[in-house]
Homo-oligomer: A and B are copies of this chain.
Amino acid sequence: MQFGDGLFETLAVVSNQPCLWDYHMQRLQQGCKRLSIIAPEAQLLEREAGQLVGGERQAVLKITITRGMSERGYMPTADSPPTRILSLFAWDGPSTENIKIAVSSRRLGSNPQLAGIKHLNRLDQVLACMECADDVQEALMLDQYNHVIEGMMSNLFFQRGQKLFTPSLTDSGVDGVVRQFILDRAKQQRLEIITGTFTLDQVLQSDALYLSSSLGGIRFVSEVVGHAWQPSASFHPLLRDIAADIFS
Contact = CB atoms under 8 A, between A and B. Distances in A.
Nearest to A87: B72
A111 B64 CA distance: 25
Nearest to A106: B113
A74 B152 contact: yes
Identical copies in the complex: 2
Interface stretch (A18-26, A121-129, A186-194, A226-234): A121-129
Interface stretch (A2-10, A47-55, A203-211): A2-10
A85 to B, nearest CB: 9
Contacts of A107: 111-113
Contacts of A4: 3-4, 120-123
Interface of A: 1-5, 8, 10, 35-36, 60, 62, 64, 67, 71-76, 87, 89, 106-114, 119-130, 144, 152-153
A36 B127 contact: yes
A18 to B, nearest CB: 15
A3 B126 contact: yes
Contacts of A125: 3, 74
B72 A122 contact: no
Nearest to A144: B110
A124 B153 contact: no
B111 A124 contact: yes
- CB-based closest 6 A-B pairs: A4-B4, A109-B111, A3-B122, A121-B121, A109-B109, A74-B129
A39 to B, nearest CB: 16
30 contacts: A1-B1, A1-B2, A2-B64, A3-B4, A3-B121, A3-B125, A4-B4, A4-B121, A4-B122, A10-B72, A35-B123, A36-B127, A67-B126, A73-B153, A74-B122, A74-B152, A74-B153, A75-B126, A75-B129, A76-B126, A76-B130, A108-B111, A109-B109, A110-B110, A110-B111, A113-B124, A114-B123, A119-B123, A121-B121, A144-B144
